[in-house]
Amino acid sequence: MFPTSSNSISKALLSEVTGEKQDIMQFGEDEQAEQLLQILSSNKIRDRIIEKYNLEEHYEIDPDSKYKRTKLYNTYENNVTFRRTEYMAVKITVLDEDPVVAAAMANDIAELLDSAKNTMQKERAVMAFRIVGAEFLKLKLEVQQMEDSLSKLRMLGVHDYESQAEMINQQLAIELAKGNRAGIKVLEEKLDVLAKYGGPYVSIRDALEHEKKQLSEVKSKYEEAKIDAEEVLPQKFIVNSAYEAEKKSYPIRWIIVLVSTLSAFILGMIILAVLDSLSKYNKKKRA
């Protein structure tokens, strides 16, 4: 199997910055391969495999032994190995008396890799989602309150402070030139309203514009965090699935035969040498 290069789903799929590091189809490198090896050797995967295949009984570990757990783990580590290939892939090898069990265990370990890594990442992603979610809801509430305040000020007659003040002052100058007291009074009342509520209107309006920008940025982070917290992607590319071996990997039969033959030959030579020595000794003694 090859590791994937991306860990964050949101950055791989939603990020505006494009490149190899964000490509979900890109194979991982040294760092990701080392991470895979470490996760494959973790207690989470080992214990689930031991439980599923009842390896304590399968490996004939004495349940009453004082060191049964140590023996079980040592047997597991001797039979299940992981290594990085020269092409930066990770290979899982499982030895067992039953080739069907060996192949099934290897494939299950590969499948458990996804759940183990995703579980570790989800813990952090969910916490991040809660933090961003709380900030998003807080900003959303503040924006809503500001918009409500502006609506109330508009009902009082303040719609656009700067343009209104300019237009009313121009019209007031015209009415003053005409000597229209009724018109002057109406315009002065409008100016009083602007004087009273114009300052708060400008403050709230400017703050609202800033808060909306913040809300837009936080909303993007919120959506990314939500995807990371709720969705999963495979953490590996399977090149070859495990298969049942047709012949023994260990012990190799011809080696056993060769060693047995050599042992018998050496033992026979030793026995002949001893018998020859005894024969010479007896002859010498009689002489």
Q: What is the pLDDT of residues 161-219, one digit of tens each?
A: 777 777 777 776 777 777 778 877 877 777 777 778 888 888 888 898 889 999 988 98
The reported pLDDT for the residue numbered 118 is 87
Average pLDDT over residues 265-284: 79
Average pLDDT over residues 272-286: 75
Same domain, 94 and 118: yes
Asked if 120 and 44 sit in the same domain, the reply is: yes
Q: Are residues 272 and 219 in the same domain?
A: no
Answer yes or no: is pLDDT of 252 > 60.
Answer: no
- Please check whether residue 137 lies inside any domain of the structure: no
Are 19 and 59 in a shared domain?
A: yes
238 lies in the same domain as 125: yes
- Calculate mean pLDDT across residues 39-63: 92
Pair (224, 243) in one structural domain: no
Query: Which residues, in sequence order, are CB contacts of 236 under 8 Å at separation 6+?
Result: 1, 2, 3, 4, 36, 90, 110, 113, 114
The two tokens of residue 99 are: 């080739």
| Total number of domains constituting the chain | 3
Residue 136 lies in a domain: no
How many whole angstroms separate alpha carbon 136 and alpha carbon 129? 10
Whether residues 122 and 63 fall in one domain: yes
Interhelix angle 68-79/43-52, rounded to 10 degrees, is 100
Amino acid at the residue 48: R
Contact 80, 109 (CB under 8 A): yes
pLDDT, tens digit, for every residue of 213-250?
999 889 888 988 888 888 887 888 889 899 888 777 76
Q: Is the per-residue pLDDT at 130 higher than 90?
A: yes
Same domain, 274 and 242: no
Amino acid present at 113: L
Q: Distance between CA atoms of 58 and 233, rounded to whole angstroms?
A: 34
- The reply to whether 243 and 121 lie within a common domain is yes
Inside any domain, residue 112:
yes
Q: Is the pTM of this model over 0.75?
A: no
Residue 135 lies in a domain: no
Q: Do residue 271 and residue 240 come from a single domain?
A: no
Rounded distance between C-alpha atoms, residue 64 and residue 164, angstroms: 91
pLDDT exceeds cutoff 50 at 113: yes
What residue numbers bound the domain in which 24 lies? 2-130+234-247
Q: Helix 99-155 to helix 43-52 angle, to the nearest 10 degrees?
A: 130
Whether 33 is in a domain gets the answer yes
Query: What pLDDT, on the 0 to 100 scale, is given for residue 18?
Result: 47
